[in-house]
Structure formats: C-alpha cells, structure tokens
Amino acid sequence: MTLNTGKFLRINLSSGKIVEESVPEKIARDFVGGRGYGIKYLYDELAPNVDPLGGDNKLIMLNGALAGSSAQAVSRWMVCTKSPLTGAFARSICGADFGAWLKFAGYDFIIIEGKAEKHAYIHMTKDSCQILDASELWGKDTRETQEWLKEHHGSNSRTACIGPAGERLVKYAGIFSDRRTAGRCGTGTVMGSKNLKAITVTADRTVRLHDPEAFKKLAKEQVELIRESRAFQFHKEWGTTCTQDVTNKLGIYPVRNFRYGQQVGYEKITGAEYRKLRTGGIGCYSCPAHCGKSHKAVDGPYAGATTEGLEYESIWAFTGTIDSTNIEASILADHLCDDFGMDTISTGNTIGFAYELYEKGILSKEDTDGLDLSYGNHATMIALIKKIALREGIGNILAEGTMRAATIIGKGAEAYAIHVKGLELPAYDPRGTKAMGYNYATASIGASHCYGYARQDVFGAIQPRMTDRFAEEENADIVVYNQNGTAMTEIGVVCTFAGGWDWVPSHFGKMLAAARGIDELADNDYLQQVGERIYTLERLFNIREGLGRKQDTLPQRMLTEPLHTREAPGEGQIVRNQDKFLDRYYQIRGWTKEGVPSSEKLEELGINI
C-alpha cells in the first residue's frame, strides 16, 4: 500500500498554470504535514530577499495531516509565506471548515505563485481548479465575499478570502474563512498583493487515510480523551473570553500601550461581563468545543453590534490598548476588523501606539484628522479601524504597523512601537511572564503568543516542569520546549483549546501514522524531532533573510521600564526627603533646627513659659 504523503496544487497567477504534485516520501517522513510542509516548501522554493508583496513571494495554504478526518479538532489550517510585516517566515493559523474542505478536494496544500493581472479568485473542486474574474467581488467585505461565492458555487463550498484591508495592502490584513482569521503577519496583504480575492473549494466530505480502520478506532478513543480533558471543558464553557480575568490578576494585561499590567475598572470587562452579552458558541470543523463565543451589544451607542468570536486577544485589543472598558465598543471593533479583514492584535496594538503618541504630543489633532486619541475614547478607536482599513488620513500611516509607522512619524515615535521584528505584541506583558516574552523575542514570526505559549507561567501547567514566571535564562529550556512542541502539533493541525495537550501525548503520533502510513510517526521522540526540525528550518529561512541575534529582542520598553501593574500616579512613591521637609517646616513655624519654638516666636505669640 503506498504511503499517503499528500498532494498539492501549484497555482501560478501570472501564467495561469496549475499543476498537481505529490509530496515526496522523504519530505513526508521529515516534515509530515501542515507547518512542516509549509516551511519546507517555502524554504526550498523562495529565493532569498524577495519582495513580500511582489510576484516572487509565494502564498502556501495548508491543512494538517489529519484534516477532514473523523478525529476532532484537527482541521485547522494555516498560511505560510514571507511576511510583509517582518520580512521573516510567516505562518498564521485559521479555524472554520476551509482546511477540511481543501482536504476533501484532495489536497494537503496549495502553493499560490505570481500575481494575477486582474482581480481574481480561485475555484477548486476534486477535479478542477480555475482562476476566475473577481471584479464583482473586489471591494466587498469578507462576509459579502463569502456569501457571493456560496451563492455562485453552492452550499457545499467553503472560502478563504480577504477584505478591503487586504485589497489596500494594509500590512496586517488577514485571510478569513467564515469569521475566523489567519490574522497575523500580513497573510492577507500578500494575498491582496497577488490581486487574489478568494479561494473557494467545492467538495464532498471524503478524505483519504492510509489505514482507515485503525484510524477509526483511534479517533473514537480520541473523542473520549477530549471529553475528559479539563482544557476542553473549560474552552467549551468559556472559549477564551475570560482570559482577561487571569491576566489582570497576574498583572500582565497590557494597558495603555504596555505601560501597565492591569486595567483600572477591568471588572467591567471580565469574562462574566462578556458572558452577559453572549449569543452562542461556534465551532470549527469536527470540534465539539464551540469555543468561538458570539456576542451582541445590547445597550449604549453601539447597541445592535454583533460579532462571531471576540477572543481574548481581541477583547484586549479593543480595551486595554486604549484603556477603555466599553464592552460594546470592543464587539463592534471586532466586527469591523472581521468585515474589513484585519488582524485584531496588530490593529489594536497599533491604535494603542497612536494613542500614546497623542498623549506624548508626537501626534496632534492636526495629524489625526481632528480625532481625539485620549485614552478611553472608544469612538475614536472605531473611527481609526475604518480609516486604517481604507487607508484614509492617519489610517494610511497606521496601516503600516507600529514599526513602519514610527519611522514615518519620526520624533522619537519608535520608542513606543511595541513589536518584535515588526510583528505587534499580543496581550501578555513580557515582564510578567518572561517565558512568554522570550518566546516573542525568538519566535520565527515575531511576537506571537501562540508560537510557544507559556502555559506554565500563565495557567500553572506542570509539563515539563513548573516555572517561576519572572525567571529569565533559567527558563530557556521551557521556551524551547513550548516552541518545538507547538511546531510538532501544527503538523496536525491540532487545536490546543480542545484539550490538545491532553490527548496529543498518547494519540497524536498513532493517528499520524495511521493517516500517512509512516510508522515512525507513532514514536513520540521522532515526532518531537520533527518539531525541532521545523523550527530549525524556519530559523535558517530567517537567517537567509538577514535576521539573527540582533533581531531576537523585545521592545526597548520591556528592557528599560519596570512593569507597573496598574495606573496610579503614586506607584513607586517613597518619602525621600524627611530631613529637608523638617528643616523647612520648622523654619516656617519659627522653630529651631531641633524643632523647638524659638523665643522670638514665643514672644510673637505672647506665650510666656
């Protein structure tokens, strides 16, 4: 029986040439699938130093080795490319059904090359692939685009697409499927640069596995393991909508552009508060967690606004960044980013950066089209999201991300740009979870929490050991463990929310072996090495692009400003000059240096003793 190494389509938008290829056995053994295939093909095929937004860059969209199967929570998919934000390797993961559908069409991935002359979209089935005219789609938001494509290609279709922000090359545009996003690193920007609006897959739900019988049994067991997982149970209940409770408590919830680690009034944005506005839970393909909680604003100026999702990172992006505790504004902001097609983390972080520049006087109302960027002003945040997406006024600068915007603005703005390698920091302050922070500093894609999430620091995970979250080089092994382990699961593509860390150790390898027909995959050590191999090849990619130790750095603020856990002007105060005070106080009172009323003063007051 031949191995199931996976097939892919190479789609050249410049030439219109479309070729189907199989993954060679050697690559399948070494890289297995998902992120492994992503870096392997990108490394091998991309010439060094190409323009990320030029025709030479490639956009690889991949599902994992288990996608579309009867296993649960393994059908996430990802985009690998060279990032226009960082100039480094990019991988950005997305949920929903698109990854499973790509597999149903018979493919583990597609490599999109070149650049379409006119606005185009791709339509794929099991038997066909067409590059079609997108002139009717161009300008539509992500929801409209998907509706249009479902109308034209049937309900058995799934789409990944960009919105107006991707069309305008906003540097942190994402690729959307349903309301899920491959948000980070500007994957949507690369897609926009190729004049590609969408990829739609029409397919029936069949998937090829090497050993379907063995797989079926393993998948059944996996369902039980997931059900028992506390992480699964937690995310089923809450998704990530209450992580702000944890991070505020730990003092690592970044407020006012990473000046503070706790938000004054955060009791207004707790998980319980969001829950009051919850309207439902939405799951990705074959996942019972339904962790994507949808919300609807009921009261206030944003009443009626709805959003599917609003994960922790997005909650933060539209509250802590600008020091607003208006939940409704965060719902609308998330909705707008989804419609326009932008990464919420980079959007929120960049807006928080602009608010600080405004506070510091580096930006004035003349620069902001008259907008008032005072902390807490959520109406301005809403306005800025639209301006960024459409590159209007100040939005045209902020659309470049903090690193480039700081260069454009000058006047010392770069001190306030909170990014690593150009990728904006997410919602965990590095100073309060150093293992997370150093993961940001060293992650192949820049400041990504998902790249090596420090579960030990944040949630007290005890694998591989407990951590002191303020320790630095002492936790270097933890950072490596988290990064390699994550790379390993992303060959899956396993979702950790559905208890991934609980079922992976006993089951993942066996399932991979049954799916691919490569027995070594059942060996945990082998798999771990695959993770390390992926990580190492990503590093080689970045080195080839000129990145090295110098770029493995956190923003200056993290290295020079102590973390303050709450805004309070008294923080850190001490009584320093008691002697000077007493000197002056006694002098004013007409007392001696020893504090004894002088005879002159006594005479003045008519006190005779």
| Contacts to a copy of itself from residues 489-508, by CB under 8 A | none
Among 125, 262, 325, 377, binds a copy of itself (CB under 8 A): 262
CB nearer to a copy of itself: pick between 19 and 476: 476
Nearer to a copy of itself, 148 or 260 (CB): 260
CB of 76 to a copy of itself, least distance (A): 25
C-alpha closest to that of 377 among 455, 338, 325, 422 = 325
Q: Least Å distance between CB 5 and a copy of itself?
A: 17
Residues forming beta bridges with residue 177, ordered by sequence position: 180
Q: How far apart are CA 401 and CA 169, in angstroms?
A: 11
Least distance between a copy of itself and beta carbon 477 (Å):
6
Q: Which stretch binds a copy of itself (CB under 8 A): 297-305, 466-474, 489-497, 517-525?
A: 466-474
At its nearest, how many Å lie between a copy of itself and the CB of residue 321?
19
Choices 48-56, 116-124, 182-190, 565-573; region in contact with a copy of itself by CB under 8 A: 565-573
Q: How far is the CB of 151 from a copy of itself (least distance, A)?
A: 46
- Residue closer to a copy of itself by CB (options 306, 529) is 529
Q: How far is the CB of 231 from a copy of itself (least distance, A)?
A: 24
In three-state secondary structure terms, 382 is helix
Pick between residue 462 and residue 543 the one whose CB is nearest to a copy of itself. Answer: 543
Task: Give least dist CB 274 to a copy of itself, A.
Answer: 17
Residues 114/116/121/123 CA torsion (nearest 10 deg):
-60
What is the nearest approach in angstroms of a copy of itself to the Cβ of residue 539? 6
The residue among 261, 246, 326 whose CA lies nearest residue 566 is: 261
Q: Can you give the three-state secondary structure of 443-475, one letter per residue?
A: CCCCCCCCCCCCHHHHHCCCCCCCCCCCCCHHH
Using the minimum distance from each CB to a copy of itself, give the nearer residue, 20 or 561. Answer: 561
Residues 5-64, interacting with a copy of itself (CB under 8 A): 30
Q: Which stretch binds a copy of itself (CB under 8 A): 78-86, 495-503, 506-514, 566-574?
A: 566-574
Residue from 118, 364, 476, 603 that binds a copy of itself (CB under 8 A)? 476
Which of these, 454, 452, 482, 480, lies nearest to 468 by C-alpha position?
454
Nearer to a copy of itself, 128 or 581 (CB): 581
Identify which of residues 192 and 437 has a Cβ nearer to a copy of itself in the complex. Answer: 437
Where would I find the beta strands (DSSP E) of 371-523? Answer: 419-420, 423-424
Residue with smaller CB distance to a copy of itself, 364 or 587 = 587
How many residues lie near a copy of itself (CB under 8 A)?
Answer: 82
Annotate 431-464 with b (16+ C-beta within 10 A) or e (fewer).
bbbbbbbbbbbbbbbbbbbbbbbbbbbbeebeee
- Cβ closest to a copy of itself, residue 227 vs residue 601: 601
In the complex, minimum distance from the CB of residue 435 to a copy of itself, in angstroms, rounded to a whole number: 10
Q: How far apart are the first and last CA of the chain?
A: 113
CB count within 10 Å of CB 529 equals 16
Q: How far apart, in whole angstroms, are the C-alpha atoms of residue 84 and residue 62?
A: 19
Binding positions for a copy of itself, 212-251, rule CB under 8 A: 249-251
At 222, list the tokens.
């996996």
Q: Does 570 bind a copy of itself (CB under 8 A)?
A: yes
Choose which of 213, 473, 525, 600 interacts with a copy of itself (CB under 8 A). 473
Residue type, 235: H
Residue from 261, 320, 422, 500 in contact with a copy of itself (CB under 8 A): 261
Smallest separation (angstroms) from a copy of itself to the CB of 492:
20
Taking residues 572 to 601 in sequence order and writing x for each that binds a copy of itself by CB under 8 A, - otherwise, the string is xxxxxxx-xxxxxxxxxx-x-xxxxx---x
Do β-strands 292-296 and 306-307 pair in parallel, antiparallel, or remain unpaired? antiparallel
Q: Which of residues 500-559 bind a copy of itself (CB under 8 A)?
A: 529, 532-533, 535-537, 539-540, 543, 548-549, 552-554, 558-559
Quick check: 475 and 467 in contact, CB under 8 A?
yes
Q: Which residue has the tokens 């620091």?
A: 457
**Residue 359: how many CA atoms within 13 Å on its side-chain side?**
16
Stretch that binds a copy of itself, among 15-23, 171-179, 381-389, 472-480 (CB under 8 A): 472-480
3-state secondary structure of 103: helix
Q: With DSSP H G I counted as helix, E B as strand and the rest as coil, what are the percentages for the chain, rounded to 5? A: 45, 15, 40
Q: In terms of CB distance, is 408 or 605 closer to a copy of itself?
A: 605
Number of other residues whose CB lies within 10 A of the CB of residue 548: 10
Segment interacting with a copy of itself (CB under 8 A) among 175-183, 234-242, 261-269, 298-306: 261-269
CB 135 → a copy of itself: shortest distance, Å? 43
DSSP class per residue in 564-589: BSS--TTTT-----HHHHHHHHHHHH
The answer to whether residue 603 forms part of the interface with a copy of itself (CB under 8 A) is no
Which CB atom, from 77 or from 535, has the smaller least distance to a copy of itself? 535
Least CB distance to a copy of itself at residue 570 (A): 3
Q: What angle do CA 448, 451, 456 make, to 5 degrees?
A: 105
In the bound state with a copy of itself, the residue whose beta carbon lies nearer, of 20 and 571, is 571
| Nearest CB to a copy of itself, comparing residues 358 and 440 | 440
Site string for a copy of itself, 427-446 (x = CB under 8 A): --xxxx-x--xx--xx----
Q: How far is the CB of 72 from a copy of itself (least distance, A)?
A: 31
Q: Tell the smallest beta-carbon distance from residue 483 to a copy of itself (Å).
A: 9
Quick check: 18 and 127 in contact, CB under 8 A?
Answer: no
* C-alpha dihedral sign at 237, 240, 244, 250: positive
**Binding residues for a copy of itself restricted to 306-345, rule: CB under 8 A:** none
Query: CA-to-CA distance for 259 and 244, rounded, in angstroms?
Result: 16
**Cis ω on the peptide bond leading into residue 505 (within 30° of 0)?**
no
| Rounded distance between C-alpha atoms, residue 389 and residue 207, angstroms | 38
Based on CB atoms, which residue is closest to a copy of itself, 222 or 475? 475
Q: Is 3 helix (H, G, I), strand (E, B) or coil?
A: coil
Least CB distance to a copy of itself at residue 439 (A): 10
List the structure tokens of 35: 């992120």
Judge whether 75 and 34 are in contact, CB under 8 Å: no
Rounded distance, CA 192 to CA 399, Å? 14
Nearer to a copy of itself, 371 or 537 (CB): 537
